[in-house]
Amino acid sequence: MKGTFKKLVCLATACVIALGTATTASACTTLAVGKDASDTGSVLVSHTCDGWYDHRIQIVEGGTHAAGEMVDIYNDPCTATKNEVTLKGQIPQAETTYTYFNIGYPFMNEKGVVMSEFTWSGRSEVSSAEGMMVIANLEMLGLQRASTAREAVEIMGALAEEYGYCDGGECLLVADQNEVWIFEICGGGPLWTQGSEAPGAHWAARRVPDDQVYTGANRSRLGVIDFNDTENYMWSTDITALPEQMGWWSEGEDFNFTQIFNPEPYGYEFYASRREWRVFSLLAPSQEFPVLDNQSHYDFTIKPDELVSVQDIMDIYSDHLEGTEYDMTQGLAAGPFGNPHRWQLASGDKPESAANEDWEREIAQFRCTYSFVAELRPDMPGEIGSVLWFGEDSPDTTVYTPIYAGTTSVPEEWSTGDRKSFDQNCAWWAFNFIGNYAQLNWNAMYPVIREKKAAIESEYFAEQADVDAKALELYNTSGADAAKAYLTDYVYTNLEELNDEWWAFAWQLVGTYYDGMRIEEDGSSTTLGYPTEWLEEVGFGATSLADKGETPAEPDASAEPDAPAASGEPSAPAVNTTTSNSTALVIGSICVIVVAIAAVIILQKKKKN
């Protein structure tokens, strides 16, 4: 009886954790491009880290480790600049580790293995309060220990099975210079305990075909696992056992990982699918993809109409659904100046007629902490061939600067900083400031920002061939350390100069756009004003006309209405939950606990039978 009670407590705790994960999860958008689908024969993989995460680039040196050395495992390290990170446990260190880049979600190692991430939460019934690992722990360990993408998947899967996985459902795009794997994982179940012979996680991975592109955005995308194809699929030990026991799958059926572990994606009805539709539509417009809701699925990968470049993905990451019926820059919600960004709704804001809806979800998010596009080029050592184009804050107003895998240090402005207080010694704040300031008059400032951004990025791209050649020459004549030193100097200098230039640009914008004016170089000013159509819509002059007994003219009803504008996050992803969210969490937890108790009783009866 005591054992059963303990299991119930564990189950209830796990369910509450899972529900909390689902309601507080932020959202990311990822892309992967196989080497035969890119314009340079490179593997491409990218990530937008949308939410409050650790923005600091920290390079953790690898090396050889003594027998008995341990690795500290911390809870939720990706939010280190917001929440207190505490020690959760330790595991034995590997004999040899590689240098890797740590940030909100660790993204690259010196061998050129790259990972990007998104959350999908999934079923509360597979959550595990006893698990040690969250997804950022697995990324860190995988990058420390793996020299290829396939090896990283195997290492992360094995560690999650052995030590248990306590996070919500997650996806990692794991890439090297040859291939990309899509790795999805969720917990081992509420009855799993440390030392158990059962695996502490359910996971599977699927290889992206070389001539295809993939996108994922906050719902499982893995689909059916082919247990007969070990070249293109990997999976956890006994992956079918719990789903069969719970009635989610039966012998002889396709094992659809997505439907089994993520049958109800979080967010409003188009939260994830809208971004998938947009990415595929931009890369393969000839295929005329239908608009699907979160319960319907696009193919795992598609073939693009044209070969994809790094710049193509950068442009996709700046997308606000322009030119579609969902265009975020149009309509009253965009204000008078076409602002595509929408703040999260507070509790009770929604009209009753749209209580279950939300703003449209654009790809470019004002709340993005950082984003990157990694270019993993073959026929070069990983330290040189793998370059990650990195940008702080929102993708549409950032500058992507190259960071080579062989880089060994970055300036302090890029490795420190506190999100809780404005800091002019922190590069992230420069980009965040400009992104926010631009929203005072988006139509006026955004083109200026884009022009500045393009000019700097063009210089980086123009230099790339010469930088590669010099690094390769040093690598072949003087060794890897010499090449790393050269690349580090190049990256370090770029980052220092970009920090200074972007802060100077910020103050230039402040001195140019204020009080509804644009100040010209000769000191004259231009009044920016308001669009006539917007003034008509908001009833400009109505009060004075009413006082004079006159009726304002109605807007032309025959005019074509603006496309609906919207963007946003699911109705409950905020970390600082409102009273409404807290109440929902309690009620939801009680419901889940009742279901959990019933599940345990059923399992106990099955064991007796």
Predicted confidence (pLDDT) at residue 134 exceeds the cutoff of 60? yes
Range of 402's domain?
Answer: 2-410+590-596
Predicted confidence (pLDDT) at residue 588 exceeds the cutoff of 90? no
Rounded to the nearest 5°, which phi and psi values hold at 282?
-75, -35
Report which secondary-structure segment, H or E, holds 31.
strand 27-33
Distance CA 461, CA 456 (A): 9
State the average pLDDT for the chain.
Answer: 89
Instruction: List, for residues 357-407, the tens digit of each pLDDT value.
Output: 999 999 999 999 999 999 999 999 999 999 999 999 999 999 999 999 999
Predicted confidence (pLDDT) at residue 570 exceeds the cutoff of 60? no
Instruction: List, for residues 219-251, the tens digit of each pLDDT value.
Output: 999 999 999 999 999 999 999 999 999 999 999
Please give the pLDDT value at position 595: 42
Let me know if residue 427 belongs to a domain. no
Range 138-147 average pLDDT: 98
Let me know if residue 70 belongs to a domain. yes
Let me know if residue 609 belongs to a domain. no
Residues 6+ apart with CB under 8 A from 6: none
Please give the pLDDT value at position 558: 55
Tell me the C-alpha to C-alpha distance, in Å, between residue 335 and each of 367, 482, 507: 19, 53, 24
Tell me the C-alpha to C-alpha distance, in Å, between residue 78 and each of 85, 129, 452: 9, 19, 31
Distance CA 599, CA 605 (A): 10
DSSP 355-369: TT------SS-TTEE
Please answer whether residues 435 and 397 qualify as being in contact, where contact means their C-beta atoms are separated by less than 8 angstroms. yes
Length of the chain: 609
Predicted confidence (pLDDT) at residue 433 exceeds the cutoff of 90? yes
Distance CA 576, CA 427 (A): 25
Pairing of strands 27-33, 43-50: antiparallel
Residue owning tokens 């010099």: 470
Confidence tier at 557 by pLDDT (50, 70, 90)? low
Q: Structurally, how many domains does the chain consist of? A: 1
Distance CA 124, CA 11 (A): 9
Please give the pLDDT value at position 550: 87
Instruction: List, for residues 310-335, the tens digit of each pLDDT value.
Output: 999 999 999 999 999 999 999 999 99
Let me know if residue 480 belongs to a domain. no
Predicted confidence (pLDDT) at residue 347 exceeds the cutoff of 60? yes
Let me know if residue 42 belongs to a domain. yes
Let me know if residue 584 belongs to a domain. no
Let me know if residue 433 belongs to a domain. no
Distance CA 399, CA 395 (A): 8
Instruction: List, for residues 331-342, the tens digit of each pLDDT value.
Output: 999 999 999 999
Let me know if residue 138 belongs to a domain. yes
**CB-count exposure of residue 390 (10 Å: 0-12, 13-18, 19+):** buried
